[in-house]
């Protein structure tokens, strides 16, 4: 007999680093390779699908998952760069697909999650996702089904402008970050933040916004593009706007 659980997580290796938080709330992790192969160990009311990948790959995962779960299972889809409405077309029950967005590695009590209903998302599915996060002490905000949602759209634009300021010689990296931390009250400078997120992710996010809206304000700064091409993608790579030693200290 198949077991029944409340919440499950399907995450690929390139998924955001917040799986541990979801598991700490009682979610069960399903092996991604088994799901892709058509096997699921249990039934669940809510499944988080965390796959940071292009649209075609996301749709393939949704189709595979849809063949395994019940018709009333809600899928919380991590796709902050893509349209949930378009992706949900690959799922047998698109009314049960709801988009979610959060900054990688920042899910914790007192943080915030973006909840992005698609055009066909059922109110009950949206409420199920919001209820999960409320119970975990995480605030939710409803946002429209737009590329970048709010967090990435605004933060990546700030990082891009800070990169332009550095590229044009307006100020040093340290002074740009210091000004935004002390002058505006940011917890991190925008260039420090870029290193933490990953310059490749920031670049890809900006490029997605530019392709979606065709507005040059979203065009990645040439310096950002060159740094990504050179492998200077931030903390994970050991170097980005700053360099990092074994103790992860910025220099």
Same domain, 46 and 63: yes
134-159 pLDDT tens trace: 999 999 999 999 988 999 999 999 99
Say what the pLDDT of residue 4 is: 42
Contacts of 210 (CB under 8 A, 6+ apart): 216, 218, 219, 220
Same domain, 130 and 177: no
Same domain, 63 and 113: yes
Say what the pLDDT of residue 126 is: 97
Same domain, 215 and 159: yes
Site of tokens 């390139």: 14
123-137 pLDDT tens trace: 999 999 999 999 999
Residues 225, 219: Cα–Cα separation, whole Å: 10
55-109 pLDDT tens trace: 898 999 999 899 888 899 999 999 888 899 999 999 999 999 999 999 877 788 9
Grouping H, G, I as helix, E, B as strand and the rest as coil, residue 109 is coil
- Show which of 88, 110, 142 is a domain's final residue: 142
Same domain, 138 and 199: no
| CATH number of domain containing 189 | 1.10.1040.50
203-248 pLDDT tens trace: 999 999 999 889 999 999 999 999 999 999 999 999 999 999 854 5
Say what the pLDDT of residue 41 is: 62
- Show which of 142, 176, 199 is a domain's final residue: 142
The residue-averaged pLDDT of 169-178 equals 98
In a domain, residue 158? The reply is yes
User: Are the beta carbons of 94 and 59 closer than 8 angstroms?
Assistant: no
Model-level pTM?
Answer: 0.86
| CATH number of domain containing 111 | 3.40.50.720
9-26 pLDDT tens trace: 998 887 776 888 999 998
In a domain, residue 134? The reply is yes
Query: Measured at the alpha carbon of residue 204, what is the angle toward residues 151 and 27, in degrees to the nearest 5?
Result: 55
The residue-averaged pLDDT of 43-65 equals 89
- Show which of 88, 115, 142 is a domain's final residue: 142
Residue 1 has pLDDT above 90, yes or no: no
Same domain, 156 and 138: no
Number of domains in the chain: 2
Say what the pLDDT of residue 234 is: 96
Nearest partner of 121 among 100, 148, 139, judged by Cα: 100
Same domain, 131 and 58: yes
Residues 44, 177: Cα–Cα separation, whole Å: 44
In a domain, residue 60? The reply is yes
Same domain, 16 and 36: yes
Same domain, 115 and 60: yes
Nearest partner of 167 among 238, 241, 243, judged by Cα: 241
Same domain, 24 and 137: yes
Same domain, 136 and 156: no
Same domain, 179 and 92: no
Domain that holds residue 210: 151-237
Q: What are phi and psi of 19, to 5 degrees?
A: -60, -40
User: How does residue 5 score in pLDDT terms, banded at 50, 70 and 90?
Assistant: low
């Amino acid at each position: 007999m198949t077991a029944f659980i409340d919440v499950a997580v399907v995450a690929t290796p390139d998924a955001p680093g917040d799986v541990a938080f979801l598991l700490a709330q009682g979610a069960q992790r399903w092996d991604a390779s088994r799901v892709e192969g058509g096997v699921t160990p249990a039934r669940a009311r809510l499944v988080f699908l965390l796959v940071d990948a292009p649209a075609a790959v996301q749709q393939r995962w949704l189709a595979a998952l849809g063949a395994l779960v019940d018709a009333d299972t809600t899928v919380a889809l991590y796709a902050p760069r893509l349209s949930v409405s378009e992706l949900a077309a690959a799922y047998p029950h698109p009314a049960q697909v709801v988009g979610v967005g959060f900054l990688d590695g920042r899910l914790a009590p007192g943080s915030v999650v973006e909840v992005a209903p698609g055009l066909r998302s059922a109110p009950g599915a949206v409420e199920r996702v919001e209820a999960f996060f409320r119970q975990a002490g995480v605030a939710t905000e409803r946002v429209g089904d737009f590329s970048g949602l709010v967090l990435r759209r605004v933060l990546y634009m700030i990082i891009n402008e800070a990169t332009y300021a550095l590229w044009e010689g307006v100020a040093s990296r340290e002074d740009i970050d210091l000004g935004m931390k002390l002058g505006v009250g940011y917890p991190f400078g925008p260039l420090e933040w870029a290193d933490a997120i990953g310059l490749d992710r920031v670049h890809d996010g900006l490029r997605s916004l530019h392709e979606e809206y065709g507005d040059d304000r979203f065009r990645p700064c040439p310096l950002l593009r060159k740094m990504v091409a050179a492998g200077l993608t931030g903390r994970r790579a050991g170097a980005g706007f700053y360099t990092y030693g074994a103790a992860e200290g910025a220099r």
